């Protein structure tokens, strides 16, 4: 998972399960391009987070438990032998326990085919499994609806804009009710500052806040998350327009590829219509529930 702060997918349950290996054409070179690199580590540090290397894993933690895009780990290829992976995994569990965080490990299946069995033998289970899609700028077919306006939040925007973004994000993606708070607004304002005002997109439909999205570009690789449309504004082109605007901006400023995971069939159709193609799946592991 790339992006800076806030790019991690959190909270939303997928309505998809199963093995998708018959459905996509895997492209290992492309998948490797999406793997974490120094740009991600620098972005984590800029956002006030910490990167911990634990055996073959890398963990991204933040002292603020509400900071978006933190408190998860991913494997770094190539994996060492099984015994070393197990030692690293146990250390990783200790690290998350010490920090009072539930362990969450995510990775692209094709690059780590042996990892699921190993994680499962160490007491972890798949929490989510999402289709992974990529977009080559040459395949991009933007879609814009005239009555949908999209703009990136900027640090000097009024509280209303931040509050609208947080409300949609919280209610649609976290499926929780939103209680306005100046702390949350300040945190989001600071996130927009760290990302240079080109990451958090807010869509309005007939002047009313209707959708959100987040994009981060690291080393020419764009990742999109937090795409959400309020239930009353759905099927009116809000998400398609918002995603198109974010991608146009990223490609215009030099991104070579974009990727995302689709949480559910509507999202998958939406992204495939914009030119994304399925190249794999991303797994999210956490400790298995006690039986
Ligand atoms: C998925 C979601 C973002 C779509 O938002 P939206 O604003 O309604 O999407 P759009 O109106 O821009 O849809 C564009 C196209 O996507 C496809 N699409 C969107 N929703 C669909 C649905 N429920 N069923 C089938 N296709 C759908 C259609 O092709 C649609 O074009 P059309 O309406 O002309 O047929 C919205 O349903 C949502 O917020 N869901 C919950 C959160 C979520 O899953 N977010 C995605 C994270 S990856």
The pLDDT of residue 129 is: 94
Tokens for 127? Answer: 């929490």
Q: Which of 11-25, 143-157, 276-290 has the lowest mean pLDDT?
A: 11-25
Tell me the pLDDT tens digit for each residue of 34-79.
999 999 999 999 889 999 999 999 999 999 888 888 999 999 999 9
Ligand 1 pocket: which of 224, 263, 266 to mutate (most atoms within 8 A of CB): 266
Ligand 1 atom with least separation from CA of 271: 16
CATH 3.40.630.30 maps onto the chain at 28-132+281-287, 138-279
Ligand 1 atom with least separation from CA of 211: 7
Place of tokens 């209303």: 160
Q: Identify the CATH number of the domain defined by range 28-132+281-287.
A: 3.40.630.30
Mean pLDDT calculated for residue range 102-129: 95
Residue pair 112/234 in contact by the 8 Å Cβ criterion: no
The pLDDT of residue 195 is: 86
Phi, psi of 285 (to 5 degrees): -110, 140
Cα torsion through 185, 186, 188, 192, rounded to 10: 130
Ligand 1 pocket: which of 208, 226, 234 to mutate (most atoms within 8 A of CB): 234
Mean pLDDT calculated for residue range 191-217: 95
The pLDDT of residue 77 is: 94
Tokens for 1? Answer: 């998972």
CA angle, 117 then 119 then 121, to 5°: 70
Mean pLDDT calculated for residue range 142-158: 97
Q: Residue 237 Cα, ligand 1 centroid: separation in angstroms?
A: 8
Q: CA 61, CA 132: separation in Å to the nearest integer?
A: 24
Name the residue at shortest CA distance from atom 15 of ligand 1: 270
For residue 88, give the nearest of 43, 112, 119, 63 by alpha carbon: 119
pTM, to two decimals? 0.90
Q: Which residue has the higher pLDDT, 3 or 270?
A: 270
Q: Residue 113 Cα, ligand 1 centroid: separation in angstroms?
A: 31
The pLDDT of residue 218 is: 94
- pLDDT above 90: percentage of residues in the chain: 83
Q: CA 145, CA 241: separation in Å to the nearest integer?
A: 6
Q: Residue 59 Cα, ligand 1 centroid: separation in angstroms?
A: 32
The pLDDT of residue 67 is: 84
Q: CA 151, CA 205: separation in Å to the nearest integer?
A: 12
Q: Which of 9-23, 85-99, 272-286 has the lowest mean pLDDT?
A: 9-23
**HSE value, Cβ hemisphere, 13 Å, CA-based, for 78:** 2
Confidence of residue 196 (pLDDT cuts 50, 70, 90): confident
List, chain by chain if needed, residues with CB within 6 Å of any ligand 1 atom: 172-173, 211, 227-229, 234-240, 262-264, 266-267, 269-270, 273
The pLDDT of residue 66 is: 81
Superfamily of domain 138-279: Gcn5-related N-acetyltransferase (GNAT) (3.40.630.30)
Angle between helix axes 265-273 and 238-252 (nearest 10 degrees) is: 50
Tell me the pLDDT tens digit for each residue of 276-291.
999 999 999 999 987 6
The pLDDT of residue 2 is: 32
The pLDDT of residue 68 is: 83
Confidence of residue 19 (pLDDT cuts 50, 70, 90): low
Q: Residue 271 Cα, ligand 1 centroid: separation in angstroms?
A: 9
Confidence of residue 9 (pLDDT cuts 50, 70, 90): very low
The pLDDT of residue 18 is: 52
The pLDDT of residue 17 is: 41
Ligand 1 atom with least separation from CA of 263: 48
Name the residue at shortest CA distance from atom 16 of ligand 1: 270
- In the predicted structure, residue 27 carries a pLDDT above the cut 90: no
Q: Residue 239 Cα, ligand 1 centroid: separation in angstroms?
A: 6
Residue pair 279/133 in contact by the 8 Å Cβ criterion: yes
- In the predicted structure, residue 110 carries a pLDDT above the cut 60: yes
Name the residue at shortest CA distance from atom 9 of ligand 1: 239
For the chain, the DSSP string reads --SSTT-S--SPPPS--S--TTT----HHHHHHTS--HHHHHHHHHTT-EEEEETTEEEEE-SSTT-TT-SEEEE-SSP--HHHHHHHHHHHHHHHHHTT----EEEEGGG-TTHHHHHHHTTEEEEEEEEEEEE-GGG------TTEEEEE--TTS-HHHHHHHHHHIIIIIS-S-----HHHHHHHHHHHHHTTT-SEEEEEETTEEEEEEEEEEETTEEEEEEEEE-GGGTTSSHHHHHHHHHHHHHHHTT--EEEEE--SHHHHHHHHHTT-EEEEEEEEEEEPPP-
Tell me the pLDDT tens digit for each residue of 155-172.
999 999 999 999 999 999
Ligand 1 pocket: which of 229, 230, 241, 271 to mutate (most atoms within 8 A of CB): 229
């Amino acid at each position: 998972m790339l992006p800076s702060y806030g790019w991690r997918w959190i909270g939303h349950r997928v309505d998809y399960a199963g093995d998708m290996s018959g459905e996509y054409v895997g492209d290992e070179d492309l998948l490797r391009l999406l793997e974490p690199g120094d740009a991600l580590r620098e972005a984590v540090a800029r956002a006030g987070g910490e990167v911990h290397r634990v055996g073959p894993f890398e963990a991204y933690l933040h002292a603020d438990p509400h900071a978006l895009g933190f408190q998860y780990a991913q494997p770094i290829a190539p994996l060492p032998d099984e015994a070393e992976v197990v030692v690293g995994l146990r250390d990783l569990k200790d690290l998350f326990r010490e920090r009072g965080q539930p362990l969450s490990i995510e990775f692209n299946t094709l690059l780590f085919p042996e990892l699921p069995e190993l994680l499962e033998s160490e007491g972890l289970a798949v929490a989510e499994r999402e289709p992974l899609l990529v977009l080559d700028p040459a395949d991009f077919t933007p879609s814009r609806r005239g009555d949908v306006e999209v703009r990136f939040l900027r640090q000097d925007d009024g509280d209303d804009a931040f509050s609208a973004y947080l409300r949609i994000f919280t209610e649609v993606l976290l499926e929780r009710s939103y209680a306005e708070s100046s702390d949350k607004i300040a945190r989001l304002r600071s996130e927009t500052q760290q990302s240079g005002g080109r990451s958090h997109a807010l869509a309005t439909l007939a002047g009313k806040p209707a959708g959100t999205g987040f994009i981060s570009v690291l080393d020419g690789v764009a990742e999109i998350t937090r795409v959400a449309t309020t239930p009353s504004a759905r099927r009116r082109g809000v998400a398609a327009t918002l995603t198109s605007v974010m991608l146009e901006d990223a490609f215009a400023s030099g991104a070579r590829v974009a990727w995302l995971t689709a949480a559910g069939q509507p999202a998958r159709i939406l992204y495939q219509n914009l030119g994304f193609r399925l190249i794999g799946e991303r797994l999210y592991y956490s400790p298995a529930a006690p039986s």
